[in-house]
Amino acid sequence: MMTTGEKIKSFRTKKGWSQEYLAELMGYQHKSSINKIEMGKSDLPQSKLLKFAEIFGIEPQELLDISATNEKEDRHEFKSSVVTYPINTIFNLPVIASVRAGYDGVAVEEYQGFEFAYDLKNPEEYVWFRVEGDSMAPLIMNGDLALVRKQSDVDNGDIAIVIYNGDIGTIKKVIKNKNAITLMPLNSEYEAKMIVGEELNQIWIYGKVVEIKRKLN
């Protein structure tokens, strides 16, 4: 069974890439970093494992040393390159830059790549949504990724992606009253939008926000 380092080398050589080129893609300053990883002489953090998988266009599980992770009694003898991670719990989901209502209730989505998510029961029901603006600050900031479970309704108080009056989807807290729905920002500098009467027919729930991912600068 190949180690993680050996698998990285195998995928690299299949693509015809040099260690120097792969190091550049990964953000390493020297090709020696790739050589050490392939030789099993350097630690490989989870974040780097995910980036390797993204660059190779594969699932992260394909880089794991499965034989090593199954032999718990010999864990102390493993090379430092071995990364233990739950199998079949990593999913590469699409990132949506915007969403709007289309004909017959079909969402029109603008995609901008993929991002990993973990431990989802039905991954096909989820997408990432790129947040624009600071109306939900400080909980949710401009540029954050919101993991959204696609569903046509949410409970009172849930944060959701909402399409109103044919506009582009926005992220807001949904407050339900007897005859009204209020789209509530968390940032006090923004006003809430109360929707009543026939306007309720113009609101469409795209999905519920279940997780926020933020990259530190």
Residue 209 has pLDDT above 70, yes or no: yes
Residue 14 sits in a domain of what CATH number? 1.10.260.40
Element (H, E) at 81: none
Of the chain, the percentage scoring pLDDT greater than 70 comes to: 83
Distance CA 184, CA 161 (A): 12
- 193 in active site: no
- 172 in active site: yes
**Are 28 and 54 members of one domain?**
yes
**Any idea which residue has 């109103």 for tokens?**
164
The Cα angle at residue 95 between residues 94 and 97, in degrees rounded to 5:
140
The amino acid present at 39, given as its one-letter code, is M
Indicate which residue of 7, 48, 172, 173 is catalytic: 172
Indicate which residue of 36, 48, 135, 173 is catalytic: 135
pLDDT band at 110 (very low <50, low <70, confident <90, very high): confident
Output the six-digit token pair for 204: 């469409």
Question: Is 170 contained in some domain?
Answer: yes
Mean pLDDT confidence for 105-130: 82
Q: Which of 23, 41, 76 is the last residue of a domain?
A: 76
Task: For residue 62, give the DSSP letter.
Answer: G
**Are 72 and 102 members of one domain?**
no
Question: Is 70 contained in some domain?
Answer: yes
Surface-to-core class of residue 109, CB atoms within 10 Å of its CB (0-12 exposed, 13-18 middle, 19+ buried): middle
Pairing of strands 145-150, 107-118: unpaired
Maximal C-alpha separation, the chain: 68
54 contact partners, CB below 8 Å, separation of at least 6: 92, 114, 116
Residue 50 has pLDDT above 60, yes or no: yes
Q: Please tell me the predicted confidence (pLDDT) of residue 103.
A: 53
**pTM to 2 decimals?**
0.60
Q: Which of 20, 47, 76 is the last residue of a domain?
A: 76
Mean pLDDT confidence for 56-71: 66
Q: Give the domain range for residue 178.
A: 91-213
